[in-house]
Amino acid sequence: MNITVVGAGVVGLTTALTLEERGHTVRVVAAETGDATTSAVAAAFWFPYRAGPPDRVVAWAAETKRWLDPLIADPASGVAARTGYEITTDEGLDPPRPWWAAQIDVSRAPAPVAGAPIAWRYASLAIEPARLLPWLASQLRAPIEHRTVTDLAGEPGDVVVNCTGLAARDLAGDHALLPLFGQVVIAELGEVDRSVSVTDDRDPDALFYLVPRHDELVLGGCALPWPPGTPPVVDTAITARILAQARSFGLPIGPVKRVRAGLRPFRPEVRLERVGRIIHNYGHGGAGYTLSRGCAVSVAELVGPASAGLRP
Ligand SMILES: Cc1cc2nc3c(=O)[nH]c(=O)nc-3n(C[C@H](O)[C@H](O)[C@H](O)COP(=O)(O)OP(=O)(O)OC[C@H]3O[C@@H](n4cnc5c(N)ncnc54)[C@H](O)[C@@H]3O)c2cc1C
């Protein structure tokens, strides 16, 4: 089939690649690419954060992980293995398994930080947007067409896939889709152990995470409601709070290189449904990387086999 994918963030590019793998002819149209997308701002570690519904999210996340794991062998993809530690308020050594771990192995272990609070330990991935996004684009047969789409139904193809992230609020008239502000501090590696990532969600108002990349650290974060239609602005108080948390954990981070802010496309549930010729695939909240391949496979299922569009 001939398919137009609108959007070239991690969701659009992964969807386009997945559809090409299944024999479809795909063109990607995007207003912005690479560093200008929300996907470029992400900490981008594998963890299902602020996305729903839970049962589909765990299945999409597991599918995505199975796809990303072999990419570790290709440094150009920017995917690297990390041992994840999720510090929670769960008590003791044997609390109920967390919802997000329904399809992965987790165990209880002290987090590798000062004070060593108890954590869930699991195999995670650190993904570098500056590598994965161009890597995905390079796997596609045709270059991305740079253009702003104003009417999804006006796009050519048997199917049009809407992967426009937060912009779907206006493009699809979906007011359930809301901006959720996030901010990351990028620092030199310092003496931090590159093999582990740490997330601390005990206080939702003081979310903290550490994700080592091959040559820098990502420190976060926050998840705050943001006025629709307003661009994100770096908040120096949030930067100071994140750095203070890193210090309190005794993390030997290097000097700060830059600070970035972005708006997660949050929706109570990812919109993944077909309406006539249009398939919507947006609203991945804080988990666009984590869900990218699983959602792309669901899109492919909604499209159907490549031969279905061919006339005998
Ligand atoms: C601070 C922060 C940290 C994060 N950390 C993580 C993390 O650790 N792990 C994780 O999995 N996720 C994380 N996320 C979430 C993740 O970044 C998003 O879920 C993901 O980037 C959404 O991808 P997307 O492709 O849907 O949207 P986008 O990256 O926003 O891409 C949308 C695309 O659509 C195009 N577009 C929009 N409107 C139009 C139009 N009218 N015409 C043509 N093109 C259009 C845009 O130009 C762009 O190419 C984080 C987000 C933030 C802000």
- In this predicted structure, what is the pLDDT of residue 23? 97
Ligand 1 centre to CA of 191 (Å) is: 31
Domain that holds residue 122: 2-309
Residue 309: pLDDT band (50, 70, 90) is: low
- In this predicted structure, what is the pLDDT of residue 311? 43
Cβ atoms of 79 and 14 within 8 Å: the answer is no
Q: Would the pLDDT of 312 be above 60?
A: no
Q: Would the pLDDT of 278 be above 90?
A: yes
Q: Which atom of ligand 1 approaches the CA of 289 most closely?
A: 11
Residue labelled with tokens 């590696």: 189
- In this predicted structure, what is the pLDDT of residue 116? 85
Q: Would the pLDDT of 263 be above 60?
A: yes
CA distance linking residue 211 with residue 125, whole number of Å: 9
Q: Whose CA is nearest to atom 15 of ligand 1?
A: 286
Cβ atoms of 161 and 3 within 8 Å: the answer is yes
Per-residue tokens: 26: 């795909």
Mode of pairing for the β-strands spanning 278-282 and 159-162: parallel
CA distance linking residue 227 with residue 222, whole number of Å: 15
Please compute the mean of the pLDDT values over residues 229-252 and round it to a whole number: 98
Please compute the mean of the pLDDT values over residues 90-94 and round it to a whole number: 75
Give backbone dihedrals phi and psi of 55, rounded to 5 degrees, phi first: -65, -40
Q: Whose CA is nearest to atom 14 of ligand 1?
A: 286
Q: What is the DSSP string of the chain?
A: -EEEEE--SHHHHHHHHHHHHTT-EEEEEES--GGGSGGGT---BS---S-S-HHHHHHHHHHHHHHHGGGGG-GGG-EEEEEEEEE-S--SS-PPPPGGGTTS-EEEEE-SSTT--EEEEEEEEEE-HHHHHHHHHHHSSSPPEE---S-GGGS-SSEEEE--GGGHHHHTT-TT-EEEEEEEEEE--TT--TTEEEEE-SSGGG-EEEEE-SS-EEEE---EE--TT------HHHHHHHHHHHHHTT-----EEEEEEEEEEE-SS-EEEEETTEEEEE--GGGHHHHHHHHHHHHHHHH--GGGG---
Residue 308: pLDDT band (50, 70, 90) is: low
Q: Which residues sit with their C-beta closer than 6 Å to ligand 1?
A: 6-12, 29-33, 37-39, 41-45, 148-149, 163-167, 171, 182-184, 221, 262, 264-265, 282, 284-290
CA distance linking residue 111 with residue 294, whole number of Å: 29
Residue 93: pLDDT band (50, 70, 90) is: confident
Q: Whose CA is nearest to atom 21 of ligand 1?
A: 39
Which one of 63, 144, 284 would you pick to mutate in the ligand 1 pocket, going by the greatest count of ligand atoms within 8 A of its CB? 284
pLDDT digits (tens, 9 = 90+) for 143-198: 999 999 999 999 999 999 999 999 999 999 999 999 999 999 999 999 999 999 99
Cβ atoms within 10 A of the Cβ of 178, count?
Answer: 20
- In this predicted structure, what is the pLDDT of residue 91? 75
Q: Whose CA is nearest to atom 4 of ligand 1?
A: 42
Per-residue tokens: 88: 């929670």
pLDDT digits (tens, 9 = 90+) for 137-152: 999 999 999 999 999 9
Which one of 27, 37, 166, 290 would you pick to mutate in the ligand 1 pocket, going by the greatest count of ligand atoms within 8 A of its CB? 37
pLDDT top residue among 91 and 114: 114
Q: Would the pLDDT of 241 be above 50?
A: yes
Q: Which atom of ligand 1 approaches the CA of 285 most closely?
A: 19
Q: Exposed, middle or buried by CB within 10 Å (0-12, 13-18, 19+), for 212?
A: buried
Tally of structural domains, the chain: 1
Percent of the chain with pLDDT over 70: 98
Cβ atoms within 10 A of the Cβ of 220, count?
Answer: 22
Please compute the mean of the pLDDT values over residues 97-116 and round it to a whole number: 94
Residue 94: pLDDT band (50, 70, 90) is: confident
Please compute the mean of the pLDDT values over residues 53-65 and round it to a whole number: 98
- In this predicted structure, what is the pLDDT of residue 307? 79
Per-residue tokens: 141: 């047969």
CATH number at residue 280: 3.50.50.60
